[in-house]
Amino acid sequence: MQTNKEEKQPLITVLKQLESQYDVRFSYADANLKNKTIVVPPEGLSLDELLKYLEDNTSLSFEKLSDNSIVIRNLIQKRNFRTQYLEAVLITDYLTEGISIKNDGSIKVKPQQFGILPGLIEPDVLQTLLSLPGIQSVDERISNLNIRGGTHDQNLILWDGIKMYQSGHFFGLISAFNPYLTENVLVSKNGTSAIYGDGVSSVIDMQTSNTIEREFSGGAGLNMINVDAFGKIPLVKKTALLLSARRSITDLIVTPTFDQYFKRIFQDTDLTNNLGGSNFISKDERFYFYDVTAKLLYNISKKDKFRFNFLNIYNKIDYQEQSRKNDQNEILNSNLTQRNLATGIEYLRTWNPDFYTTAQLYLSNYALDATNFDVLNNQRLIQENEVYDGGLKLHFYYTINSNLSILGGYQFAEVGISNLEDVNNPPFRRFIKEVIRTHAIFNEVKFSSNSNSTKAKIGVRANYIEKFSKTLIEPRLSFSQRFLNYFRLEILGEFKSQTTSQIIDLQNDFLGVEKRRWILSNNDDIPIIESKQISAGIHFNKNKLLISAEAYIKDVDGITTRSQGFQNQYQFRIEDGSYRIKGIDFLINKQFGNISTWFSYSYSKNDYTFKGLNSGESFPNNVDITHALTFAGAYTFNDFKFAIGVNWRTGKPFTEPEGISSTTNNTINYQAPNSSNLDDYLRADLSGTYIFKIGDTSDAIIGFSLWNILNKTNIINTYYTIDDSN
């Protein structure tokens, strides 16, 4: 497809072309370039002439920091040095379009600018993260992201500043967050900003659009799992409404994709396990999910803004079991629902070009409810897990000068978690509710040298937990130094803590579909989880070639055996302990015009230490993946995009049995804990999309993706039980 060079094109697109043509790198805040267009500059211009042309045609400032580094600022920013200058990205189009690396070591994902990744044709917010080094999922579920050796509950997942306790649809196979209203996703594996509490493994901060558009925009889509729609709707002046909705079609149409998803997520659960017995006749199941997002934006004045957010995520499975008792058919209905409701109001005030504040009130309510009928034993079990998380956040941002800015504030959170179990035969009922209130103050200083070569972010956070009268001081550090033009040294460190975690009491809890339940620390047998982490990395970036190596060590203390999901000799032990992970993440990413290729390799050693287990000796973590590598590529030609990739990793640890002991009521004798490994994991995926015009104002995208194109059978878990015949 030929492009008329006299026609205006998006400025970001033109800048990407110029980076390759002139071997330079542009650093900018996305907001400064949004909706800006420009005619492609004439050929044969020198770099200085090019920058003059760009300034004359964009009303932006283009300042050379070195021979190949140029920072872009708007004119107001040039005079007042707003904090956006300190937020410039270092590497754009990391792996694919829409992913970039920021100068503080975090990774920024822009779903609306998403290019393509192997196996993905839509910008699934959490699936995208699995392409990044150091992020795995040992059971292939995005509701179980293992970031640098941690469990999923050790990730702080925020949606517009509100903590989310549910992250997946289809009980973990699909992200529960609509990507088309999500403007930015910030991922921090270390060196986290002091603004964040919780999340000893990582922070995943999703932010919806905060801009009032003048014209309506929207879209709709359909795939083999769900149908979705979204809209950005201008209302009266200074007011807009953002809406999105998605619903599965799985209860209406059975597609091959749904069939594979169903087999994957419900295998080894009460829905698919063979109940056996002559009384059992049939089972009929129904599953669906939906999510709804709404955001109201109201600009009260040039200085004052009001925002209201609402999100509802919902999953439900119910099935009927028919049995025959006393020569009569009996039908019993079991079901499981999982939802997360979140809402918040936010007030933002810009006092002057260098100082602004935000205030937010929020509530997040998570509920997991199950009713399970055991037909053969005439038993009914009700289980409930509910979380109420409400709080207040008061933040300020102040720019001192072009080199220094300050972020600080106060946060209050009250978290209440309840758990219910109710059995009818024999009668038993247990209800437990715990509440923790936390006050936090934090302060953070950002520094940037005049040349932009040196950047540092130093912060400290103090958490006071009322219930335990305990104060936790958490320093945070991010340091970046560019040298020899193309090299960058990065040092990151942090102390973090969290009082919420997930545990598994029994492997068949909640029908075995979602076995984990949220609980609160009690400062006794369920300690506060605390972590310490430091990392150092070297990055080389020149001529669209990125070579990156990062070494890290992380200690996490206060975990419990119940939170780790043991299925060996420690399944019913209650102990607390720690894990230490040491590792290296390595990446090569090379772009050749329209082709982006990358190779990543991660090595890690992740070991538990429980004083009450294994004689206090360390042993491999349940999610220890020693070696993991990815080789992938993406190709863009006009409106066609194609990606293919291979993922390989060593199998996770498990414990093999030695036999059955007849002297201890027929229990299993196990070998040393986690002394064996599953077979290596291998999966190859491909995907492709094509964009075409529908009229003058609409685009359409059609795409396909295939997972596991080699049809490799991967065992993701192995455990042992004793059957009736021993």
| Domain range summary for the chain, segments of one domain joined by + | 1-80, 217-529+539-706
- Average pLDDT of the segment spanning 268-275: 69
- Which is it for strands 500-503 and 470-483: parallel, antiparallel or unpaired? unpaired
DSSP per position, 15-52 = HHHHHHHHT-EEE--HHHHTT-EEEPPPTT--HHHHHH
* 49-63, 451-465, 492-506, range with the lowest pLDDT: 49-63
Helix (H, G, I), strand (E, B) or coil at 170: coil
- Average pLDDT of the segment spanning 464-488: 95
**Which CATH entry fits the domain spanning 217-529+539-706: 2.170.150.70, 1.10.645.10, 3.30.499.10, 2.40.170.20?**
2.40.170.20
> 665-721 pLDDT, tens per residue?
778 999 999 999 999 999 999 999 999 988 888 889 999 999 999 999 999 999 998
Residue 226: which pLDDT band, with cuts at 50, 70 and 90?
very high
Decide if pLDDT at 376 tops 50: yes
Mean pLDDT of all residues belonging to the chain: 90
> 430-450 pLDDT, tens per residue?
999 999 999 999 999 999 988
Q: How many helices (H) and strands (E) does the chain have?
A: 5, 44
> 361-373 pLDDT, tens per residue?
999 999 999 999 8
> 98-127 pLDDT, tens per residue?
888 888 889 999 888 888 999 998 888 899
Decide if pLDDT at 3 tops 60: no
- Average pLDDT of the segment spanning 315-343: 84
Most confident of 37-46, 64-73, 173-182, 309-318: 309-318
Decide if pLDDT at 283 tops 70: no
> 478-537 pLDDT, tens per residue?
999 999 988 999 999 999 999 999 999 988 888 888 899 999 999 999 999 999 999 999
For residues 444 and 408, what is the distance between their CA atoms, to the nearest angstrom?
A: 6
Decide if pLDDT at 212 tops 50: yes
Q: Is 363 exposed, middle or buried (0-12, 13-18, 19+ CB in 10 A)?
A: middle
For residues 545 and 35, what is the distance between their CA atoms, to the nearest angstrom?
A: 29
DSSP per position, 205-263 = EEEE-----SS-EEEEEE-SSEEEEEEEEE-STTEEEEEEEEEE-TTT---HHHHHHHH
Question: Under a CB-based contact definition with an 8 Å cutoff, are residues 102 and 89 in contact?
Answer: yes
> 233-243 pLDDT, tens per residue?
999 889 999 99
Question: Under a CB-based contact definition with an 8 Å cutoff, are residues 367 and 386 in contact?
Answer: yes
For residues 506 and 571, what is the distance between their CA atoms, to the nearest angstrom?
A: 9
- Average pLDDT of the segment spanning 53-80: 74
Residue linked to tokens 């094509």: 690
- Average pLDDT of the segment spanning 22-42: 83
Pairwise pLDDT comparison (65 vs 384), residue with the higher score: 384
Helix (H, G, I), strand (E, B) or coil at 115: coil
- pLDDT at res. 664: 65
> 195-209 pLDDT, tens per residue?
999 999 999 999 998
For residues 135 and 425, what is the distance between their CA atoms, to the nearest angstrom?
A: 44
CATH number of 1-80: 3.55.50.30
Q: Is there a common fold for 1-80 and 217-529+539-706?
A: no
Q: At CA 213, angle to CA 207 and CA 217, rounded to 5?
A: 90
Decide if pLDDT at 273 tops 60: yes
CA atoms within 13 Å, Cβ hemisphere of 682: 7
Decide if pLDDT at 548 tops 80: yes
- Average pLDDT of the segment spanning 140-166: 95
